[in-house]
Amino acid sequence: MLLIKNGRVIDPKTQFDQIADILMDQDKIIKIGKNLSESADQIIDATGLVVAPGLVDVHVHFREPGQTHKEDIHTGALAAAAGGVTSVVMMANTNPTVSDVETLKEVLDSAAKEAIHIYSVATITKGFDGQNLTDFSALLAAGAVAFSDDGIPLQSSKVLKEALDLARDNQTFLSLHEEDPELNGILGFNEGIAEKAFKICGATGVAEYSMIARDLMIAYDRQAHVHIQHLSKAESVKVVEFAQQLGAKVTAEVAPQHFSRTEQLLLEKGANAKMNPPLRYESDRLGVIEGLKSGVISVIATDHAPHHADEKNVADITQAPSGMTGLETSLSLGLTYLVEEGHLSLMALLEKMTYNPAKLYQLPAGYLAENGPADLVVFDDQEDRMVSSDFASKAANSPFIGDHLKGQVKYTICKGKIVYQA
């Protein structure tokens, strides 16, 4: 048994926020209360620390199969644990893509060996071809938790409509990457910095919010659930808000990088700050924060996208792949740019990083309760840290290396076992 003593226990599901002890036996919480004196094999003194549900990140890329020089499921799991994350949902843009039951079972078999909970979506279309839908019912039966062609927008409105009907009939949903290729230039560069500093046509805002508008109206018509991934534009938040008020079944997420920094970071950190969608203007950063505050955006997810250093360190930045590692900095970015700056309470931040994403994907996670899962994070919300490049991930393509942030994970506990200790 494992006993955590004297921590500030926060449970977003019940809004519980008190100094308390938590006793765990194997993979379940046995008791939550004050001054628990039961004998335990291990005792953690959490005085002055926050004890919360293990973080739930529903947008990660673990690159297995086919791109394991960047990351694999094992190193991705280690990175998650180091960031306080005990449940993740992997995207399906592997090689081959997770478009059939055989590939899905392969990744889930590999995932089952890890110390944290790892789930996977399947692709909407076969091999990301944008045209031929996968077998939703068979993939759901084999363990897929939703469907996404993340990284490749669905250009055909007809295919989208058919996919939404299939998702609705199978009581599941689509997670969509929204950037219309026909309205974009070179990806990874916001249109402002692209023109001024790089003299190129970059990724436009209208490519994002116009595609969101199209897709949400089709989803509204079909009465199907759509989840919008990594919003980056203030206008996108307004479009989602409009659709929600209309009665559309729509949820949305934002990545920590988009509420933390702007396009200027590209000039400071180069290719490590290149991502899709790109870092935007300060008005957009504030816009997505307003979306978090209002509840229009209910989920924070990292879009953890590891790349090999050689891939990022090319002479021509336009040829570098987009994406950044995010699992090991997400909590600190939330504490620094949302809680410390007074935008969200600690309870509200944790709700968007635990209970809400777990509820969206119907995962048995994201809350603290007796007989509930023994998945927790223990962290110091006030400790200052300097982000180093010594990540548990295979990759270190983070533009936040060298930054001073708030918050330090002390322990990550999954299935009642300590899987990370600072």
Least Cα distance to 239 among 211, 261, 266 occurs for 211
- C-alpha–C-alpha distance, residues 86 and 414, integer Å: 6
Within 8 A by CB and 6+ apart from 313, the residues are 271, 320
Q: Annotated catalytic, 303?
A: yes
**41-72 in b/e burial notation, b at 16+ Cβ within 10 A?**
eeebebeebbbbbbbbbbbbbbbbbebbebbb
CB 296 within 8 A of CB 241: yes
- C-alpha–C-alpha distance, residues 334 and 349, integer Å: 7
CB 98 within 8 A of CB 151: no
Angle between helices 234-246 and 282-294 (to 10 degrees): 30
What order of strands is seen across the sheet that includes strand 85-90? 55-60, 85-90, 117-120
- C-alpha–C-alpha distance, residues 415 and 118, integer Å: 13
- Greatest extent of the chain over all pairs of C-alpha atoms, in Å: 66
Long-range own/partner contacts, residues 130-136 (CB < 8 A, 24 or more apart) = 130/154, 130/155, 130/156, 130/159, 131/156, 131/159, 133/159, 133/162, 133/163, 133/166, 134/99, 134/100, 135/100, 135/101, 136/166, 136/167, 136/170, 136/172
- C-alpha–C-alpha distance, residues 84 and 97, integer Å: 28
| From 11, 57, 100, 303, the catalytic residue | 303
Beta bridge partners of residue 414, listed in sequence order: 417
**193-220 in b/e burial notation, b at 16+ Cβ within 10 A?**
bbeeeeeeebbbbebbbbbbbbbbbbbb
- C-alpha–C-alpha distance, residues 397 and 306, integer Å: 6
Pairing of strands 55-60, 85-90: parallel
The 8-class DSSP code of residue 321 comes to P
CB 397 within 8 A of CB 324: yes
- C-alpha–C-alpha distance, residues 205 and 35, integer Å: 54
Structure tokens at 238: 């307004």
**Active-site residue list:** 303
